[in-house]
Amino acid sequence: MKKGKADVSLRNDTFAVRKDIIVFRLNDDKDLKRTLPTGTTTNAVDDYEETTETSYPFCHIIFFNQPGMQYVAIEKKAGAFYGKIDKITKILKQNFDRMIKVLGYTVNFEEIYMQAMAWDVVKRKCRENNDYVTQVCLTAKRDKDNTKYSDYTRNSNINGFIEEGMENEAKEVFAGYKYDKEASEQSVKNIIDKMFYINKFIENNECEIKVKLSKSGIICLNEEVVPMYFLPERAIENFLIGSSISATEDVSTLEEWLKNSINDIKKTEDATTPPQKLTRPRQ
């Protein structure tokens, strides 16, 4: 993985367990060290201290295990890993077994590619307030016989998205960008295309991707559940804390959110049950 001009590896050594949920946090390993003044005025060496800030981007890998049904969810911060989810799965293949074998689990991963051909829009309610956000769903299908880039202009849904954005300036798209009333269709496409390096995916990966979107904003890539980052604020942070201390109302919000998401997937007319990815080996 590249961060600037430097190659960086990833560490995935942070996780928490509570009930049927396991949460892993993936970071790149380049923590940022900063030297800050302590507040005194002598300008001596002792007046400054070094602090370390956690590296970015990061994402959370969420395992939700119920009897008879196992799901793997990737909760992705805006632009984390530039949309290249296959990088995450490759890292997990190398390191996951040693991390969760003490829990009695084994994991099998498949590469997931994200590339876009058409835009769709879903509107879901924020849990933190009553505002609505607009999320852009990337639907993807690769024509192996056609090397040209996809024509986004054939999908009129993006025009509807712009119209909705004009009605409410608080609307946000998938990446968290906000568009003002003057935002053009092309500007929306350009930003999202750049964020996911869509053209590079279409150029380098000859594959057909099936993407489905549930009413709650859950994206399924090749029938793999991939929730986006519209989680209750600090839900995962509270979960990580609560898993080692005690269950609180805030901690349970993540559990409730995951259950609702899975139930929503089942209710979606054209959705299929995601394959089992997390299994407990026989004792």
Q: Which of 101, 99, 117 is nearest to 24 (CA)?
A: 99
123, 133 Cβ separation under 8 angstroms: yes
- What pLDDT score does 17 carry? 61
- What pLDDT score does 200 carry? 47
Please write the tens of the pLDDT for every residue from 78-137.
Answer: 334 444 445 555 555 555 555 555 555 555 544 333 222 222 222 233 333 333 333 343
Contacts 24+ apart (CB under 8 A), 121-124: 121/157, 121/158, 121/160, 121/161, 121/164, 122/213, 122/215, 122/217, 123/164, 124/215, 124/216, 124/217, 124/230
Please write the tens of the pLDDT for every residue from 168-223.
Answer: 433 333 333 444 545 555 665 565 455 444 444 444 444 333 434 333 334 444 44
